[in-house]
Amino acid sequence: MEKEIEIKNINPVEIFGANNTYLKTFVKYFPAIKIVARGNKLQISGDPEVIEVFEKKFDQIISYFKRFNTLDENVIEQLLLEHANINGGKGDEVLVHGNGGAKIKAKTVNQRKLVQAANHNDMVFAVGPAGTGKTYTAVALAVRALKAKEVKRIILTRPAVEAGENLGFLPGDLKEKLDPYLMPLYDALRDMIPPEKLADMMEYGIIEIAPLAFMRGRTLDKAFVILDEAQNATSVQMKMFLTRMGTTAKFIITGDMSQIDLPKHQRSGLPYALNALHDVPGIEIVKLNQHDVIRHPLVKRIIDAFEEADSKFKEQKEQSKNDSTPSNK
């Protein structure tokens, strides 16, 4: 079957993308049909049923653009993903059944990419702002692996870095001081494992939550290991952690480059590692963004507002620097 779709009253570049970037996304998600752009028209050929599905999704893309007057690759992927395949699978399978029978699965395009990356690689970096589900998805993958007996234990770790507070002034012993910093990991686990069972697993070391410094000197094997808040690991700590990997371990490293709490004289190990390892086979980097925020709708707006404010501040700082530079006459 052959079909022609005409785009009316819209610049084709808005729909196909610069250099046909968006068109390539159409092709990626619908490999069973041939899609060719000619001017303001799409020429499609192939299976009639697949073409019918594509037409419906393409109409949604056009409607989205007409409503919001904007379009990007993440939006297109979100709209196409329902009926298309990623690496041979839909990517929306249930990762684990949580407490009360809740179905826990990836909810956004980049969360699905994280799941696919973990399925095919032993080490994955997931980088993005708050609220994008990096940690939650990683913990779900770890619990799934443990339940499937792919690993014997889960190890969750974070750098014990103060985010504007001072650990020394908190009451209690070391564990009581550190527990608040590890709370997001506890919260995710509590959604997925019944409280009594979780307590037993932690007591017997099947699930271990510990500060990053406690990883030194160990070999982490037969384990699913998550380093959370990796932006607060120094480059020395990052190298130490990554080299703890045993022969049958799986590592996921999550971080948010905009929330580095290290002292100014210390360099974050996350950008250092991403730069050094981006071409290493067996390691995949997944970048999440504001489109993956699944908290309250205000969170996305807050992220956008802060990014805009940061951009303006940098521009003003640069302008002030230029104005204060004496000119040569």
Q: What is the pLDDT of residues 211-254, one digit of tens each?
A: 888 899 999 999 999 999 999 999 999 999 999 999 999 999 99
Q: What is the pLDDT of residues 74-115, one digit of tens each?
A: 778 777 765 443 333 444 578 888 887 788 888 888 888 899
C-alpha atoms less than 13 angstroms from C-alpha of 271 in its C-beta half-sphere: 8
Characterise 69 by phi-psi region: left (phi > 0), alpha (psi -120 to 50), beta (else): left
Torsion of CA 295, 81, 21, 122, to 10 degrees: 80
Q: pLDDT exceeding 70 applies to what percent of the chain?
A: 87
216's tokens: 């030194």
Mean pLDDT of the chain: 84
Rounded CA-CA distance 167/70 in Å is: 45
**CB distance 117 to 284 below 8 Å:** yes
Domains (range + CATH), the chain: 2-81 (3.30.1370.10), 96-306 (3.40.50.300)
Rounded CA-CA distance 254/191 in Å is: 19
